[in-house]
């Protein structure tokens, strides 16, 4: 009897571990919903790693479902209200990825400001060896940084930036206890006061297009946007428009509106650093995320308290 259904593509170690827990595997939510009635009726827990929308209609297909264990801290693909209404628990994998995600945010910031992609090409192409010096670029340390969303990941980014002697500003639903960082009551005033804006809010309907044209204009022509959150948080058309016009100095993006198809207009821009949604993608962290997902599933099957419940 299949009690655990694994949805999504997992690495070798996670697949083996889920297999040992008796999981049945399907590649995506559509394939899960297409299983026959008897197979779906048996499912009490789902290990979910994927895109696609785990909505009310999808939950309808699993009448015995008690747990959706999400692989990832962001659970915007799951309709949590619908789950709550059906007494389906949802868990995620917070904290274990904070360092990696913050590392990548800072790395993109440095790469963009110091034009490291272009500098690397300058050496590889032999242009430097031919005697052409690399053009001077932008000093990043000691500037002003804004964190949009001072949650666990936002805090780690700010903490790293403080070591770069940055003046730290942030917006969050409420002021936090911080070491001298400046709180802003609204995102617009944050953007107006900083050179570099790091997007670290959760994804989902309540933050959709939070970074819109008006906010990008407040960030201004010297401003740089770094996004490690979700593509949905940024109005991508507005961002591309400003980058193409030089109304924004640049961007570092690990997430996009329509992954994995990043808008080809981004690739034409010299002022952006682009990453394939890989902020948490280190062996160590993905291993820890998988373990936490499975620990939640094991707790559920054993009737114990879930480790990291979302609702």
Token couple for 221: 């022509």
- Toward ligand 8YV, which CB reaches closer, 97 or 297? 97
Stretch that binds ligand 8YV, among 69-77, 117-125, 151-159, 233-241 (CB under 6 A): 69-77
Q: How many residues bind ligand 8YV (CB under 6 A)?
A: 8
Greatest CA separation for the chain: 71
Taking the complex as a whole, the smallest distance from the CB of residue 199 to ligand 8YV amounts, in Å, to 13
d(CA 272, CA 226): 10
Select which of 115, 230, 242, 286 is catalytic.
230
Options 277, 288, 306, 310; binder of ligand 8YV; rule CB under 6 A: 277
DSSP bridge partners of 274: 253
Residue 204 CB, shortest distance to ligand 8YV, in Å, is 11
| CA–CA distance, 26 with 2 (Å, rounded to integer) | 12
> Is 74 an interacting residue with respect to ligand 8YV (CB under 6 A)?
yes
| Burial class of residue 228 (count of CB atoms within 10 Å of its CB; 0-12, 13-18, 19+) | buried
Residues pairing with 170 in the sheet:
147, 183
The residue range among 23-31, 71-79, 80-88, 245-253 that interacts with ligand 8YV, by the rule CB under 6 A, is: 71-79
Does 104 sit near ligand 8YV (CB under 6 A)?
no
Of 54, 67, 72, 160, the residue at the interface with ligand 8YV (CB under 6 A) is 72
Identify which of residues 152 and 277 has a Cβ nearer to ligand 8YV in the complex.
277
**E strands present in 22-61:** 24-26, 45-48
Residues 6+ apart with CB under 8 A from 107: none
Tell me which residue of 281, 310, 307, 231 sits closest to 51, measured CA to CA.
Answer: 231
Helix (H) or strand (E) holding 163: helix 152-163
Cα–Cα distance measured from residue 79 to residue 310, given in angstroms and rounded to the nearest whole number: 11
Nearer to ligand 8YV (CB atom), residue 71 or residue 198: 71
Nearest distance in Å: CB 72, ligand 8YV? 2
Tell me, yes or no, if 259 is annotated catalytic: yes
Per the annotation, the verdict on 115 as an active-site residue is no
Site string for ligand 8YV, 39-68 (x = CB under 6 A): ----------x-------------------
Contacting residue, 97, 201, 211, 262, with ligand 8YV by CB under 6 A? 97
* Residue 277 appears among annotated catalytic residues: yes
3-class DSSP assignment, residue 82: helix
Which residue in the set 32, 69, 73, 248 belongs to the binding site for ligand 8YV (CB under 6 A)? 73
Residue that has been written with the tokens 């903490």 in this structure: 159
Residues belonging to the active site: 230, 259, 277
């Amino acid at each position: 009897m299949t009690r655990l259904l694994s949805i999504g593509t997992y690495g070798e170690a996670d697949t083996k571990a889920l297999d040992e827990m008796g999981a049945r595997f399907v590649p995506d939510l559509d394939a899960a919903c297409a299983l026959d009635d008897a197979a779906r009726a048996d499912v009490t827990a789902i290990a979910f790693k994927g895109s696609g929308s785990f909505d009310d209609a999808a939950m309808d297909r699993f009448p015995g479902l008690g747990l959706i264990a999400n692989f990832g801290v962001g659970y915007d693909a799951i309709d949590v209200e619908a789950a709550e209404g059906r007494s389906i628990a949802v868990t995620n994998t917070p904290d274990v990825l904070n360092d990696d995600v913050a590392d990548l945010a800072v790395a993109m910031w440095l790469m963009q400001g110091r034009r490291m992609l272009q500098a690397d090409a300058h050496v590889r192409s032999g242009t430097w060896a031919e005697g052409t010096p690399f053009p001077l670029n932008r000093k990043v340390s000691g500037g002003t940084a804004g964190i949009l969303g001072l949650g666990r990941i936002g805090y780690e980014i700010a903490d790293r930036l403080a070591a770069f002697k940055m003046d730290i500003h942030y917006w969050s639903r409420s002021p936090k206890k911080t070491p001298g960082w400046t709180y802003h009551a609204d995102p617009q005033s944050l953007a107006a006061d900083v050179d570099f804006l790091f997007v670290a809010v959760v994804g989902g309907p309540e933050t959709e297009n939070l970074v819109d044209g008006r906010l990008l204009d407040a960030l201004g022509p010297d401003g740089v946007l770094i996004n490690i959150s979700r593509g949905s948080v940024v109005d991508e058309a507005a961002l591309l428009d400003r980058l193409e016009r030089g109304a924004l100095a640049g961007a570092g993006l690990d997430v996009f509106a329509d992954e994995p198809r990043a808008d080809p207009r981004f690739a034409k821009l010299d002022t952006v650093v682009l990453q394939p949604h890989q902020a948490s993608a280190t062996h160590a962290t993905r291993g820890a995320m998988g373990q936490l997902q499975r620990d939640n599933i094991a707790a559920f099957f054993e009737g114990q308290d879930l480790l990291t419940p979302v609702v």
